Structure 1
């Protein structure tokens, strides 16, 4: 299939484009949120940068939407309406903002475009009305078991912790720094020490590292801390677990599903998390054992192979809702999008466990 999508969420896209399809990413001379293209990423040759207004609309098999405005953009540039005469899904990366739990999704009650959530918590949290709703859980390329834990210190990966503040648990970091120095990786961490009230050398700003360097440096730290209050399941958490790092995490949003207790500690009691972090810093063998449990759990639920297989099922059955719709190559089809229950049943069962009907 030839799939159109914008480069919106780099880490998620990094996994998605490793499938067996051709991926078309709009590019603009100035880049920006509507024209990043590959953005220098080391992605397969099947990922192509394209000028949206120069595409042959009939050659596109499906579009993965990630922002409401993309619906009108595709219609205007290609003359095909997502969900009407162009197969489409809307991928929702985020937890709802605003008046939770009453937050209405932008595609609520729209029956022509299924909403695909990356976590079960997000599906539960958003009000999508009568829109068809699916879950395809994350999967990431396995960086390997690189954990050494040689540094008796803590690690956090977070983007824009100063701006996002309580959302990302920035205010909790000084308490963890009292246990051991905290390495903070990610974008726009400048000013964190003053904003969060860190003292002296307890904070180590590491910046936005390339994936291989990030994995290597993360794996040297003894414990991964996940203090996020209200974010979707961070892929950096899954990366840390793949590396074989033990985890202490707030039991919020999807974290309790992703992190088993044997991997470290998952709790809304910050004191409990601090005590566990302190114990793991002092006991490298326990830390290594719990990190191995984290890796085993993440490979079982969030593998790249399972993720790509689930998306293949969804894409293969995706069709416009209305009969007589033009298909690529001038064909028409009277195939309707399968009922949500049947799609979700197939998507959430690992490929190796599926049986032919």
Structure 2
């Protein structure tokens, strides 16, 4: 099967393109958001080909995988007038939880009869108002990085991009209180000024911007994975941390509430309990290792790559039939 999709979310796309299909990603000279092309910091197989818009016109495409509202118009223009959902089968993958008036948030693809809306969590499907559009759920899967956890550093790892801009969404306002209970290492883009901006001593909140290949090893050296995010679909960094064998302490919100089993760590809606649980695991390496083993077992069982790709194969076969 020949699948056209945009390179939007690196970790998710890396898992998706491990399947047994051919994948085409648009590329533009500036490699901007609509033409990133092949990944440069993730390992992608040779089955992924990047093509400029002028070569997409004659490309053989069996299904278009849309991920942003404007991509349907882009695809129609770049595919020489072939319309996703009408002339070519199409699915729309929604990666995000709704925002705004959440219980009543209408999805951009609501009331469509020409495509299938695929959510990455059951929470997302429950909370988005999709109208009469057919929906499905294919839960996350990741490439297994292996059991790398050592927990040798008595610090908590937090993975978040742009924490200052995103603020309460990512729980950035909770970090000063958490840093008083446990020293933090925050990994992600635009984290360089985080400690100073939050008024936290530098040794209690260190920032790291690492390439993907180095991130997993760095995370696995920290004793706890801390997930203070209030509102997100289900952070793939959380799923990756569980695969690494890290114990998890996080807010019991959105899909995280069902993704992390009790034996894998602590989920709570109380910031004081979040801080206390993190500090307790830092003091008890044996408990941290035991929770980490449970987290990895749960991740392999529920968020493994084989299950993810199998679910997508079944869905795509139905769409193009």
Q: Output the TM-score relative to the length of structure 1.
A: 0.87
Equivalent residue runs for 1:1-357 within 5 Å: 1-40=1-40, 41-57=42-58, 59-78=60-79, 79-207=81-209, 209-319=210-320
CA contact (8 A) 2:195 2:206 kept: no
CA offsets, 1:75-127, max 9 Å, x none? 12211111111010000000111111111000000011111000111111110
Q: CA offsets per residue over residues 281-312 of structure 1, 9 Å max, x none? A: 11100000000010011111000010001000
Report the Cα distance in structure 1 between the residues aligned to 2:121 and 2:151, rounded to whole angstroms.
29
CA contact (8 A) 2:6 2:26 kept: yes
Give the structure 2 partner of residue 338 of structure 1: none
Deviation of 1:55 (Å): 2.2
Alpha-carbon contact 1:156-1:224 (below 8 Å) kept: yes
Give distance in 1, aligned partners of 2:316 and 2:97: 24
- Deviations for 1:125-180, whole angstroms, at most 9, x for unmatched residues? 11000000110000001101100001111110000001000000001111221122
Secondary structure in 2 aligned to 1:130? coil
Superposition deviation, residue 42 in structure 1: 2.4
Cα distance per residue 1:251-277 (max 9 Å; x no partner): 011001110111110110121222111
1:56 deviates by 4.7
Query: Distance between the aligned counterparts of 2:269 and 2:27, measured in 1?
Result: 43
Q: Residues 58-86 of structure 1, C-alpha deviation per residue, up to 9 Å, x if partnerless?
A: 61100100111111111122111111110
Deviations 1:13-39 (A, max 9, x none): 010011100100000111100110014
Q: Please, what is the CA RMSD of the aligned residues?
A: 1.2
| Residue aligned with 2:226, SS | strand
Distance 1:60 1:48 in 2: 12
Rg larger in structure: 1
Uncovered stretches (5+) of structure 1, i.e. residues with no partner:
320-334, 336-357
SS at match of 1:42: coil
Whether the 8 Å contact between 1:57 and 1:80 is mirrored in structure 2 is no
Q: Matched residues in 1 for 2:194 and 2:139: separation? A: 31
What is the CA–CA distance in structure 2 between the aligned matches of 1:29 and 1:120, rounded to whole Å? 37
